[in-house]
Structure 1
């Protein structure tokens, strides 16, 4: 489908994929002016069952932490929350699984000040009605469990999709709650021991399907997702909030007569602009979509591009300068769903370069900028007994 660019005047069955990554929870500044000397590799991790990622975190020392879920660690094959760490060359340092007798998932991870990691997600292992509860786990730098918590009501479905560090050693967790026909986005603050600090807060009511939360440079946070609009369709959705979980502003795109335009990810530029990434259902199939907002919610630009088959952005990460890297999947080059990786100008979405490679799972792809100027892409295999795929590229998107 033909690409289109729009710049705003004045400033130039809905099924949401719960496993879409992720949360950019640590700001890792890439090496300015990197010219392609970054480490490159392609590797897989996982066991003899299905293993899928949800989030990848690039550490300042070049290592990586991946979270998701795995069926490789229990005899009955139920899903267990999964976390693994790799060194800068892609060697597996450790992997752990957590949960109980039912399904458990890790959805987002952030670094703790003491060198450990905290992930959030959902669990059905502790709810007598088999509903999802919030699931929070902290591990130390070697992957050993420090604590494990689950929170939820027996008659409510709750899943955590984002976690960011706030204050001194605390964390803000964002989650979606469903009680009958009532839908909410809520937040809760926890301390360094995993205990709640204060009451849970209702941030938004209505049929919003959140996917990702990031910490912003102005001491706040932002959430990306999709808003279901009765009788109209669905629109890409962005919400700004304070670090105590209070509402600041929200926007949807397109503003009028949306068709099906889900958003899965967002990133923040150095000037506080926010880049929303997702897709737009055109006349043939989904096309890639980027929308740029100012830090106060003014839409500044949007770009839609793609081919004859399904193309969706599932992740975005901000680098130095005015460029972003986006990742997703594309069916428009080979007819199979491949990883799509592209560097774009943040101002208007203009192409710097784009790559497509490796047949992949379409429900979770994440990308992070790395300290050496390269990019790390994480997704799952489109196969039985699937493993997690991790690809580390140089600054031009090459990994071979």
Structure 2
């Protein structure tokens, strides 16, 4: 076994002994290198008491060297590979997780260290694919509104050359993945279990499609189960490998909101799609917008691209209503139009007085209004033009 193979498999073994995200294990690898860190763990030379206990428990269930070898063979049969720091396709920006510090004592919020290795299935280059990537996350029990928005975002981003990253779950995740696939764009599912047993099983066909044209990624060895806490630990990777995260729908207590907090914690763009105030599926979205000034409200792909795209180039168009005929009028012409009686005619002098303009201006603006079809000239002055049957009058105004 070559030197690089020893380093690669040592990282896999440490990851199995300590579970992903463990800061004590990460620091041991950073200080001693993966091979020496693994030797120390096997010998019981682990300074951190929590990690020492976890390693001892794992050592009782198997030999880490044999486990790593078996996992590598299993991955090879699956068509998957191990990617580690130093590889050309390692996504270096996951290193930003060293800046993440969450103000909580929960275990899943403490285990936020950068990954030691990643298992990857798919033909695309991992780093190249994630170079332009946006995460779209949200509720599993999504509403029709949420599924529609996630689909629009996934399709629009993929169509514009951005990889769509999510967690492969039912609801918002699956809608975003499918939309990206339908746009013939890249999509990446970051899993909380082994690549050979992607969860949920009901999305197996979707995972196969992603593996064919996109990427399946996981920190966990092939064969490892999708345990509840692993999903929350996994979410930090979704936040770190993307330029920003969009939250489409989330209840008050949602794993998707935890992804957003991790994105905010490492300075990534955090974007939130608003929903009906009556919807329980949007409570988490609205609370994030209220609590975090750095979270941005977005309503579509142009807003997302303005947040994550090139500064000064990917600007969302200003929202405008369709141009109305009255938009062509200047202030004085509009005043004159408002001064016309709803019925009958009015002389030019009287019209000028009602509008508060001089007669010369009234004559010029009345001619313009006639040209645009707002008024008609009669023998005794000016009147509103009759409206076509079935349409609102051009000069309609409040009585």
TM-score (norm 1): 0.21
Greater RCO (CA < 8 Å, at least 6 residues apart): 1
Q: When you count helix as a share of all residues, which structure comes out higher? A: 2
TM-score (norm 2): 0.21
Q: When you count strand as a share of all residues, which structure comes out higher? A: 1
Higher Rg: 2
